[in-house]
Amino acid sequence: MSWEKFTWLWEGNKITDDISPVIYVISDALGDTAEFVAKAAASQFNGGTTEVRRVPYVHDKTHLLHVLQEASTKQSLVAYTLVIEELRDFLEKKAKELGVRTVDILGPMLKSLTELTGHQPKMVPDLMHKLDEQYFRKVEAIEFAVKYDDGKDPRGVLTADIVLIGVSRTSKTPLSMYLAHKQLKATNIPLVPEVSPPEELFNLKRGKVIGLTIRPQLLNQIRTERLKTLGLASNADYASLERILMELDYAEGIMRRLGCPIVDVTNKAVEETASKVLEIYYKGDGNG
């Protein structure tokens, strides 16, 4: 059984500094809803530490009993989002027998919505993810970003929502992944003087491509640190200021040729750069 563990702060009358309480998050789906609620609640307390253990995709009583038995040996609380009524009833019964505290996170909402609408819930596990179109778009966009990262397949520019271009170490890859989590298919093409950009790039509608640039001095520092991390000599041509100036000049020429908007990533977090890219995209300059 794999656990996803998070450490949070907790304070309570029955908790001492030498006891670390545990919240078991049990779900017949992914369990991210209950996990979020558990972390949000635990963050309001100070003192000891609370460990949140997520147990996703619990579909049988044996699995459920195993978790409850473990929880009964600790200072613990079980928070759950189980839509299968038989499992909910079993959990509550066994937890009571074992003296384990429980919190039904989904139940009260389902009950209230039933009373409000007059309809019974479908009670199908993981239905939100199964029917959530945004969820599938995000997964598809992430797979797209991985497949077409760093110009591995230039054909990706033809079906991408956004094409990022720039020299090495201008945050093209992390930015592509960030945009993917916004359900946008992003690919990126590195601009290197010795390698001509793919012809597909020049056949795109104006506005689909966004250029990334950076101040040469900062890029020099970033590349130098990168070489050190790789155990290479820091005076390699890759990190030399002369080489960097040449690359940036070459990249600027390509961007001018394309007529694409240019975003300066100097001293910007990925989120800041993404915000600017999204602004360009949603204004209509970047959606082709």
pLDDT at 17: 41
Does the pLDDT of residue 3 top 50, yes or no?
Answer: no
What percentage of residues in the chain have a pLDDT greater than 90? 64
pLDDT in tens, 14-62: 333 446 789 999 998 888 888 989 988 888 876 557 889 999 989 899 9
Distance set, CA 159 to CA 139, 163, 182, 233, 287 (Å): 16, 10, 16, 39, 11
Residue with tokens 């940036």: 248
Region at 14 (left for phi over 0; alpha for psi -120 to 50; beta for the rest): alpha
Dist CA 222 CA 170 (whole Å): 9
> pTM to 2 decimals?
0.57
Residue 125, token pair as written in the block: 């596990």
Average predicted confidence (pLDDT) for the chain: 87
Q: Minimum mean pLDDT among 53-62, 159-168, 210-219: which range?
A: 53-62
Average pLDDT over residues 187-194: 97
Instruction: Give yes or no on whether 4-130 and 133-285 have one common fold.
Output: yes
Q: How many CA atoms lie within 13 A of 5 on its CB side?
A: 9
Q: Where are the domains of the chain?
A: 4-130, 133-285
pLDDT at 129: 57
In CATH, the architecture of 4-130 is 3-Layer(aba) Sandwich (3.40)
Residue 222, Cα to own-chain centre: how many angstroms? 24
Is 3.40.50 the CATH number for 133-285?
Answer: yes
pLDDT at 78: 96
